[in-house]
Structure 1
Amino acid sequence: MDKLTKEQRRKNMQAVKATGSKIETTLAKELWRLGHRYRKNDKTVFGKPDLTFKRYKLAIFVDSEFWHGKDWTKRKHDHKSNQDFWHKKIERNRQRDREVNKQLLKDGWKVLRFWGKDINKNLRTCTDIILLTIDEIKREN
């Protein structure tokens, strides 16, 4: 059973942002501080990545654990109410993530995906991965 009332749960879910989340902003500000310029949620790039470096054809996605189903096989049954809805919703999100990755790779892009908790706990590691990928792309070109 849900610990929140239906009205409280509805308000919580309405507050979830599609863009400009705290974790996305944290990563973006750190990259900016390090002198790297990017585009946020560029509609011209397939899948509308959270951050894009068009010059390097690098797409970065910041995925929240809940909406993108981290450890999905283990956590799948954590949903106590409206399970059919949530299973379909999150499984479709996971499928869409795979489709977006596949298309971007086919189009010659490099794709990086980070979990929100990884950014919060290891921001430096995440930015290092991005910077190493940019350096790798520069060497290839």
Structure 2
Amino acid sequence: GDAERILSGGEYWQRQKTLLTEREVSFMKGLFRIVDMKRWYLCPQVRVADFAQLNGNIRPRSRQWWQLFRMVSQWHVDVVIVERRSFSIVAAVELDDASHLRPERRRRDILLEEVLRQAGIPLLRSHDARKLLQMT
């Protein structure tokens, strides 16, 4: 396709300096201090479609299935907490910054809350990192 042609024509990619923003790094360090690391792992920047999936109430690969999948396929949460032994999902965590005040982001946040509610995955969210750390 076009992207393959472009890619083969030059060098266009570079490594990100860090995976997380400074605020997210600070938050993760706080989580590491208080979370029982013998029981849980903290997974940063996880794509929603990798821990929440469409159920059998919608026909796989149907038009509606693709519409719902595409809606969440580019979304990520700041942290997913998983059980250390089984890697089963405990909760998702969102540290809200100023971007969460934009109307389109607020709409996305409402939709994310509904997706995770339907999937039975608790979502911990706050603009205050200290408050989030107290929730865990």
Equivalent residue for 1:49, pick from 68, 71, 77 = 77
Higher helix share: 1
> Normalising by the residue count of structure 1, what TM-score does the alignment of the two structures yield?
0.53
2:42 paired with 1:38:
yes
Structure 2, unmatched stretches of 5+, are 1-18, 53-74, 84-88
Structure 1, unmatched stretches of 5+, are 1-18, 70-89, 131-141
2:62 paired with 1:62:
no
Identity %: 19
Deviation at 1:45, TM superposition (A): 2.8
Q: Deviation above 2 Å: which 4+ runs of structure 1?
A: 33-37, 54-57
SS in structure 2 at match of 1:20: coil
Q: Partners in 1 of 2:132 and 2:95 — Cα distance?
A: 11
Aligned residues: 86
Aligned positions of 1:9-48 closer than 5 A? 20-34=20-34, 35-36=36-37, 37-43=41-47, 44-46=50-52, 47-48=75-76
CA offsets 1:72-104 (integer angstroms, 9 cap, x no match): xxxxxxxxxxxxxxxxxx211110011011001
CA RMSD of aligned residues (A): 2.1
Query: Larger relative contact order (C-alpha < 8 A, sep ≥ 6)?
Result: 1
Deviation at 1:33, TM superposition (A): 2.4
